[in-house]
Structure 1
Amino acid sequence: MKPGIHPEYHTVNIVMTDGTQFTTRSCFGKEGDTLRLDVDPKSHPAWTGVQRMMDTGGQVAKFNKKFAGLGLRKEP
C-alpha cells in the first residue's frame, strides 16, 4: 500500500438500538469513539419481517392526499 494515503484503522465501540454494545475496528472517528446505530439488524424491517409506516412530517399523508383517486375509474 502507498504510505500516508489511507485512513487510520482503530477500535471503536458500537451501540445497537437495543443498547447492546460491542467493539470492532473501523475508520470511523478516533480511537475509542462510540457509534450509536439508528437502524440495525434487530430493528430493520428487512431482517425482522415487521413493516412500520413512519409518517415523518406528514409525507405519507401528503402522498395519500395527492394520489387518492389514482387508479379509480369513473363511470361516464
Structure 2
Amino acid sequence: MKADIHPVYVDIDVTCSCGNKFVTRSTHAKALPIDVCNECHPFYTGKQKTLDTGGRVQKFADRFGMFGAVKKA
C-alpha cells in the first residue's frame, strides 16, 4: 500500500438528542451530534405508531380489502 494516503481513523464521541452518548470510530475526527439513536428510535424501542393520514388506510381497505372475495347477496 502507498504510505500517507489513508485518512486518520480515530475514536469520536456521538451524542444523541435524547442524551444517549457512545464512542465509535470515524474519519470525521470531530464529535458527532445525531437526532436519533438505537435508544430512542421507534423501530428499536417497539413504540411505533401507524399513522393514518386522511383515512388512506381505510380507503385502501375499502378498495382492495375484499379483493377476490365473493359478495353475499
Residue identity (%):
28
TM-score (norm 1): 0.52
The CA RMSD measured in Å over matched residues stands at: 3.0
The alignment partner of 1:64 has SS state of helix
**Does structure 1 conserve the Cα–Cα contact (< 8 Å) formed by 2:15 and 2:21?**
yes
TM-score (norm 2): 0.53
Aligned position for 1:12: 12
Task: Decide whether aligned partners of structure 1 residues 13 and 49 sit closer, same or farther in structure 2, where only a CA change above 3 A counts.
Answer: same
Report which of the two has the higher share of helix. Answer: 2
Task: Decide whether aligned partners of structure 1 residues 62 and 11 sit closer, same or farther in structure 2, where only a CA change above 3 A counts.
Answer: farther
Which has the greater radius of gyration?
Answer: 2
- Segments of 5+ residues of structure 1 without an aligned counterpart are none
